[in-house]
Amino acid sequence: MQMQDKVTDRQLSDEQSREIAETIREELARRRISRQALAEQAKLSLSTLEKVLGGRRPFTLATTVRLEQALGVSLRKGAAVVTPPAANDVAPDSLGSYAHRAVTWLEDVYITLRPSFGDKDAIFAYRTEIVWEPKVSSLVFREGERTDAAYEHTGEVAVPHQSGFIYLVIIKHGQHRVITVSRPTVAGEMYGIISTLRAGPGSQLTPIAYVPLRNVAKPSLGRVGPDDANHALYGKHLRRTVEESFALFLSV
């Protein structure tokens, strides 16, 4: 036991520590997650994480392994890929081969916002829950409290490391419905587009936003009109989708 403790407490070289710190900073920026969130996932104190990222303390092997497990990537050059926790705790390759512990920051209940198809001045709002489902070994999303309950969807969540985006996917009777969103902001919001079909014209792209339920004091669901207390807030989130370039609509 003492020998094992000495190995895991071994300090990495200054060069290794600089390389690892740079990789972590890139991952934080790409995924749009905070240092506090990463520290919690890796079961480290924020103070420890700040010191190693700032170069005030070298990385130890134990700290590096915890961060690798939290991020689901190898931080050491030439090191083997992090061993997944267990076969039923890793998503299939088609969804990104992510470990459950690497995506716990996505598990939450969100208010989903998109423009109302029937009323140009209204916003359609409903609940979406993202949770880990052991039966399929992946994150899944479940929609609820929609006024058009017949169209409530459940699907899988893809989190590929390469693209930096999150995909909520439904495949039913050969039809594909895909929602592409950014990594969460510091406040946990996700912004992007939903691809749907219109009978006749074909594909339709619509802005969409996912706002953690806890971020709204008294959420409104259903068709939210201009006279609703949350209409301005919801509209601000939807406009942010396009105004801050989370989704770009190019004109020809």
Q: Read off the pTM.
A: 0.63
Residues 218-235 pLDDT 10s: 999 999 999 999 999 999
Residue 139 pLDDT > 90: yes
Q: What is the CA radius of gyration of the chain?
A: 21
> Which segments of 87-217 does DSSP mark as H helices, in order?
none
| Separation of alpha carbons 220 and 230, rounded Å | 7
Q: Tokens at residue 149, please? A: 């309950």
State residue 82's pLDDT score: 46
| Separation of alpha carbons 44 and 36, rounded Å | 9
State residue 238's pLDDT score: 92
Confidence category of residue 73, pLDDT binned at 50, 70, 90: confident
Angle, helix 14-31 to helix 61-71, in steps of 10 degrees: 20
Residue 3 pLDDT > 70: no
The DSSP H or E segment spanning 110 is strand 108-115
